[in-house]
Amino acid sequence: MKLYGIPNCDTVKKARAWLASHAIAYEFHDYKKQGVDAALLRKWMTQHGWEPIINRQGQTWRKLSDTEKAAVHDIASAIKLAIEKPSVIKRPAFEHHGQLILGFNPTQYETTLLGK
């Protein structure tokens, strides 16, 4: 399993701690150091829409100008923004058996990863 995020993000830290406490192995993909794969973003956004992938509640989004925000209106423009500013991607993100999991929700993790 691959976990995508930014290491200093509090939500990513919670998810990593939860995974460690349940002895679930994962590979960490650091958006800041390793970049963002446009093909992966396209896959996620095609399956789920661009809106859940772009974190419009976060600091990165709030710091964008109104013009920059208005320019994000479809998958192509959302991918462009995510590549330029990976901190705008909802995190953590990971796929488990083809299911995309966004954010940190212990109940969802238990159901999805532990089958509870």
Q: Which of 3, 4, 5, 9 is catalytic?
A: 9
CA distance 7 to 24: 17
The answer to whether residues 79 and 45 touch, using CB atoms and an 8 Å cutoff, is: yes
Give catalytic status of residue 9 as yes or no.
yes
**Among 46, 33, 31, residue whose Cα is nearest residue 94:** 31
Length of the chain equals 116
Catalytic residues: 9
